[in-house]
Amino acid sequence: MKHARIGFEGQVHNVQVEVGDDASLSVRLADGRVLVEDQVQWLPPATGNMFALGLNYADHAAELAFAPPTEPLAFVKSPGTYTGHRQISWRPDNVAYMHYECELVAVIGKPARNVKREDALQYLAGYTVCNDYAIRDYLENYYRPNLRVKNRDATTPVGPYIVDVADVPDASKLKLRTWINGELKQEGTTADMIFDIPYLIEYLSSFMTLQPGDMIATGTPEGLADVLPGDEVVVEVEGVGRLVNRIVSEADFFKNNKA
């Protein structure tokens, strides 16, 4: 099953999602009403902390001429960075390079502390997709990611929904793809992960308690490209979901999203 959070008529609803043969989405409210994809506001399906991985794909590390890490390069993203399916993100003014990152995300379903690898999947609520945009101008060191690279408001689309673990038989063999304005730009597979999801749950839970709603964004394969205001970016993880997002300028974003 697929579970989402949506906004509709001023309220937040937890709903189940149906995917049509044409990949269109629909949801059913508790009162029985069925709504199509563009009738609702898609919210991030989970809102806990996000633990993100740097250089977790062997091909991506090679693309950047880095040796594969021997321990997970994990950093934390603030919930303020999340936005939903079909929402907008923004490109800061006067930066040279901002790129997408198509990522499989594992969502924690119950408190996890000192979890063993072989038990790890029992602690998951399911899987979702994120696009972990990065402002590369500020990346001084891949082993110590600068906050300005990865923690800007509304620059991590997440969703559209969470897929149950049972509906993804093998998360280690999924294709990942990214399109900009309909042109395929990135294609890879989770088989190239250096540290897989069971390992990451064991690693993180060995020194902290993971809470329901926390997420682990597992990194991106090679094939990155710059994005510009006006671009529509689609990231897709096979068997999990397809996440659509549009880029606007900094001025346009903050004109329409005043604090």
**Residue 24: predicted pLDDT:** 92
**Residue 141: predicted pLDDT:** 57
Confidence category of residue 66, pLDDT binned at 50, 70, 90: low
**Residue 7: predicted pLDDT:** 97
Q: What contacts 93, CB < 8 A, 6 or more positions away?
A: 249, 250, 251
CB atoms under 10 Å from CB of 84, counted, come to: 22
**Structural domains of the chain in order of their starting residue, each with its CATH number:** 1-43 (2.30.30.370), 44-256 (3.90.850.10)
pLDDT tens digits for 105-154? 999 999 999 999 999 999 999 999 999 999 887 665 565 556 667 778 99
Q: What contacts 215, CB < 8 A, 6 or more positions away?
A: 46, 48, 49, 50, 51, 105, 106, 107, 108, 128, 130, 158
**Residue 259: predicted pLDDT:** 52
pLDDT tens digits for 74-98? 989 999 999 999 999 999 998 999 9
Stated pTM of the model: 0.93
Euclidean distance between CA atoms 80 and 65, whole angstroms: 32
Angle at 8 between CA 6 and CA 9, to 5 degrees: 160
pLDDT tens digits for 177-213? 999 999 999 999 999 999 999 999 999 999 999 999 9
Q: Which helix (DSSP H) or strand (DSSP E) does residue 3 occupy?
A: strand 2-8
Q: CA torsion angle for 225, 133, 52, 48 (degrees, to 10)? A: -150
Strand partners, 88: 246
DSSP-derived 3-state class of residue 42: strand
55: pLDDT strictly greater than 90: no
Q: Residue 184 has which token pair?
A: 């395929």
pLDDT tens digits for 234-258? 999 999 999 999 999 999 998 877 6
